[in-house]
Amino acid sequence: MHEVNVGGHNYLLDCGQYQGRRQEARERNANLPFNAASISAMALSHAHIDHSGNLPTLVKSGFKGPIYTTPATVDLCVPMLADSAHIQEMDAMFLNKRRNRRRLLDADNRDLEVKPIYTTQDAEAVYPLFRSVPLHTPTEMAPGLRYTTFDAGHMLGSTAILLEADDNGKPVRLGFSGDVGRAGLPIINDPETLPPVDYLILESTYGDRLHQDLGPVKHKLAEIVNRTANRGGKIIVPAFAVGRTQQLVLLMHELVKDDAIPNIPIYVDSPLAVKVTEVFRKHGDLWDKDTAALGLSGADPFRFSRLRYITDVQESKALNDIRSPFMVISASGMCEAGRILHHLRNNIENPRNTVLITGFQAEHTLGRKIVNKQSEVPIFGEPIRLRAEVAKLNELSGHADQRELIEWIKPLVGTLKKVFLVHGELPAQTVLAKAITERYGIAVEIPERGQAFDL
């Protein structure tokens, strides 16, 4: 979240859910660090939950203004926020049940009852506030504040945002990168750069890393599938229901067509992923030319004979009884909630199986513990031995690496006065800040949470 003050009015850029240690995350997500009713309008860069996931709390806390974003982001946010609300509700129910069992929750102790951070109704109150604006369409967010978006190439509908403010005849151009994607990602178009800006708020997720080329990703995926299937194992893939799941489906579709993997069933076990895949189909106008070509050839890029989408809980549980190799793609992407937890619990003790990590895993999440190959990981509060192979496909990352971030800001260097690094861990930010200053001689700030700057 970034609060922007122009001419005495407050605006907000993104309103994501904080992910990290459970208790800290609950507290940070439930309590906004500003007065929600004082925000006049907001702009949302893209639909990922770490950018959109706390909109229901914002609205519940008194925000009534418009939420500017792209049409695809609106379509994605509806099922995503509903799903997130459902997770909050289930989470609270689970915690209350556990407290009940421990007799902590009696008549005198009602205040110990855990309430969901937000409910389905809170999420539904967000939808009427969306104002969808296509890319490249300058729009007055408020008198003296213009909003224009550019394709961030990070996920379907993702944007980098240009805010142009006229503060008493003093024009200021503020860029917000949202999440910067990468050239050559499956399905979506490559990132566009912003027009000239004076200041830039820049993400820094992979500010200290260099990705491998996208080229061999299909080959690597095929190797992992072949290796695991040959030893009779299953491939468990935690993946964000939005974006990563559709990329994996498309790659598996191509591998099946190329006859590069054995004939094993592939399940997408996530009701959210099923709804989101529909949104991907609907927005064919945002596909890159390869995906569009597959669509034009008459094949649905997101459907093939070995692939099954599962929504029903019983069907999901039935996967536990299958003895032969298969792949299951399920959410959540950082293994913090959802059906993936059951699949992990049932499969990671078997060394024949593989957990395939396909995205960034935040500190303190179960996903991070698995990537770090801890010998034991907690699932549903129980320690489970991790003996399965842990494989990684970093290539699919939707985030630019250090080199790509530095290239992305190159066209802005002529006008840029300062860069603010956000959305990253401190070591990555420190390395990126140094790299930007060395390359372009631009001042870089790594803001503390709550720090304010005069532009």
Q: Is 179 in the site for Zn ion (CB under 5 A)?
A: yes
Residue 266 CA to residue 409 CA, distance in Å, equals: 40
Q: How far is the CB of 57 from Zn ion (least distance, A)?
A: 19
CB 234 within 8 A of CB 327: yes
Residue 65 CA to residue 451 CA, distance in Å, equals: 24
Q: Is 14 in the site for Zn ion (CB under 5 A)?
A: no
Binding range to Zn ion, per CB under 5 A, among 45-53, 56-64, 197-205, 408-416:
45-53
How many residues in the shown chain lie near Zn ion by CB under 5 A?
2
Q: How far is the CB of 54 from Zn ion (least distance, A)?
A: 14
Q: How far is the CB of 325 from Zn ion (least distance, A)?
A: 32
Q: How far is the CB of 399 from Zn ion (least distance, A)?
A: 7
Of 181 and 338, CB closest to Zn ion: 181
Question: Which residue of the chain is nearest Zn ion when measured via CB?
Answer: 48
Of 48 and 343, CB closest to Zn ion: 48
Token duo for residue 341: 């937890």
| Binding characters for Zn ion, 391-430, by CB under 5 A (x = yes) | ----------------------------------------
> In terms of C-beta density within 10 A (0-12 exposed, 13-18 middle, 19 or more buried), how is residue 194 classed?
buried
Tell which residue, 183, 150, 424, 145, has the closest CA to residue 290: 183
Residue 100 CA to residue 376 CA, distance in Å, equals: 27
CB atoms closer than 10 angstroms to residue 373: 12
Q: How far is the CB of 238 from Zn ion (least distance, A)?
A: 16
- Which of 48, 173, 218, 423 is in the footprint of Zn ion by CB under 5 A? 48
Cβ contacts of residue 224 below 8 Å, gap of 6+? 235, 354, 356, 391, 393
Of 301 and 333, CB closest to Zn ion: 333
Binding range to Zn ion, per CB under 5 A, among 62-70, 175-183, 257-265, 273-281:
175-183
3-state class (DSSP) for residue 2: strand
CB atoms closer than 10 angstroms to residue 112: 13
Binding range to Zn ion, per CB under 5 A, among 171-179, 208-216, 328-336, 441-449:
171-179
3-state class (DSSP) for residue 64: coil
Binding range to Zn ion, per CB under 5 A, among 116-124, 176-184, 264-272, 415-423:
176-184
- How much is the CA Rg of the chain, to the nearest whole Å? 22
Tell which residue, 278, 292, 289, has the closest CA to residue 241: 278
Of 339 and 399, CB closest to Zn ion: 399
Q: How far is the CB of 187 from Zn ion (least distance, A)?
A: 14
Q: How far is the CB of 155 from Zn ion (least distance, A)?
A: 6
Q: Is 151 in the site for Zn ion (CB under 5 A)?
A: no
Q: How far is the CB of 214 from Zn ion (least distance, A)?
A: 18
What's the CA dihedral at 249, 395, 404, 200 to 10 degrees? 60
Place of tokens 């699919």: 396
Of 179 and 254, CB closest to Zn ion: 179
Q: How far is CA 437 from CA 108, 280, 425, in A?
A: 59, 39, 18
Q: How far is the CB of 386 from Zn ion (least distance, A)?
A: 27
Q: How far is CA 202 from CA 73, 330, 409, 423, in A?
A: 20, 30, 9, 8
Place of tokens 């770490």: 50
List of residues contacting Zn ion (CB under 5 A): 48, 179
